[in-house]
Copies of this chain bind each other. A is one copy, B any other.
Amino acid sequence: MDQLELMSTLSIPGKTKMVLLVMDGVGGLPGPEGLTELEAAHTPNFDALAKRGITGLSTPARPGVTPGSGPGHVALFGYDPMDWEIGRGVLEALGIDFDLGPSDLAARGNFATIDADGNILDRRAGRIPTEEGTRLVEKLRQIELPGVETFVEVVKEYRFVLVLRGEGLHDGLTETDPQMTGVPSLPVEATRPEAERSAELLNQWLAAARELLRDEPKANSMNLRGIAQVPPIPKMPDIYKMRLAAIATYPMYRGIGRLVGMTVLSTGDTIASEVETLKEHWDDHDFFFFHVKKTDSYGEDGNFDAKVHVIEEADAALADILALGPDVILVSGDHSTPTALKSHSWHELPVLLWSDFIRPDAVDAFGERPCMAGGLGHMRHVDFLPLMMANAGRLAKFGA
């Protein structure tokens, strides 16, 4: 019996409340003072909860493996990221609130600049502003394909989403972005026979799109990446028999939440507005996924102090979250984004779990090094949900 089946079998409804507080990319590496971003941050609330709670370190995907946002989040939600891959195109579409159907084929589009020979000069078309992207997307909506509907949607700046809808579409398709300049885009190719027709349709669309934009000064071409369909992922409300809500300032995370069956709550741009949203909807859901984005953004920027500051903001938010009286709270991240690397990394995430039913360990500060001595030891993200459910009194006994 796999974990999802086991959870479906054992889960029971209840009245308890759970909060999964995710600081995106929170894990770091020692900076100039020898402390990680989390260790350097002044976090009286996290530290107090660590003292009352149980801590540890957790691997999101596999040891040594750096996960993208998709795998990091499905793991947080109890799905083995090796079994449930979510294509970039799907993530992008979900992230703009596009209502993807189960057989829709979604791709992330990037406008690009090419020279007269068709070689790529700029893979991001000079990062054109969103208004310009919007004008171009309007143009691309004219393109018609035989037997399928097409949707072209603006994401932001040079990014858009292309969705094909119709019978007989299949994923298993290569990307067109060669990941370098000075060479032409690649054609879409099918990696399995069922996807041949989908590849043809996409190449037809690309030819028409490049023809339409040939006289644009910057965005005279485009690439398609992560062409994919929604995986047939079992929904969390069915597995765990609870009502789940997602609170996130960035579209992609709301999209992943929706994909796994969470109700997406509309919120503002700040952690403070997310806290307000949590308060407003506290009575309506059993489980809240609370996502803090900017720890990751500043990690990617290599901005140590700014990342520290976001962690301190999240620490302040914790006090408000605890004031609501959750029965279970788990604090961690989807992956590490050390400012020293300016990118996602494979490093374990610090984890902090609290309920009335944990065994408090000796750790009294929330940081990567303190958590090495934590009572949870070294665990896997996929075990967060089972542990939260157990602590919430929502798992029946297995076997007699």
Q: What is the interface of chain A, defined by CB distance below 8 A to chain B?
A: 1, 3, 6, 10, 29-30, 36, 57, 61-71, 81-82, 85-88, 91-92, 226, 338, 340-341, 343-347, 357, 359-362, 368-369, 372-379, 383, 385-390, 395-400
Contacts and interface: CB of A to CB of B under 8 A. Distances in A.
A15 to B, nearest CB: 17
A392 to B, nearest CB: 10
A376 to B, nearest CB: 8
A232 to B, nearest CB: 17
A346 B395 contact: yes
A65 B386 contact: yes
Contacts of A398: 61, 65-68, 71, 81
Contacts of A400: 68-70, 86-88, 91-92, 226
Given A65-B390, A359-B369, 14 more contacts: A6-B62, A30-B359, A63-B383, A64-B389, A68-B400, A71-B398, A81-B399, A85-B399, A226-B400, A338-B357, A341-B357, A344-B397, A361-B372, A372-B375
B68 A399 contact: yes
Contacts of A88: 400
Contacts of A1: 82
A234 B377 CA distance: 33
Nearest to A389: B64
A42 B389 CA distance: 34
Interface centre among A372, A375, A398 (most CB of B within 10 A): A398
A400 to B, nearest CB: 4
Contacts of A85: 399
A87 B369 CA distance: 43
B390 A346 contact: yes
Nearest to A36: B359
A377 to B, nearest CB: 4
Number of copies: 2
Nearest to A383: B63
A400 B30 CA distance: 26
A68 B387 contact: no
8 contacts: A10-B65, A63-B386, A64-B390, A65-B398, A86-B400, A346-B387, A372-B375, A378-B379
Contacts of A61: 398
B68 A390 contact: no
A1 to B, nearest CB: 5
**10 tightest Cβ-Cβ pairs between the two chains A and B:** A64-B386, A88-B400, A377-B378, A64-B390, A68-B399, A71-B399, A63-B383, A346-B390, A372-B375, A64-B387
Contact of A359 (B3, B29, B92): B29
Interface centre among A81, A388, A397 (most CB of B within 10 A): A397
Contacts of A82: 1, 6
A389 B65 CA distance: 9
Contacts of A347: 359
Given A91-B400, A340-B357, A369-B359, A6 B395 contact: no
Nearest to A386: B64
A29 to B, nearest CB: 6
Contact of A70 (B3, B36, B343, B399): B399
A61 B395 CA distance: 13
Given A67-B398, A390-B64, A369 B375 contact: yes
Given A347-B359, A400-B86, A64 B375 contact: no
B70 A395 contact: no
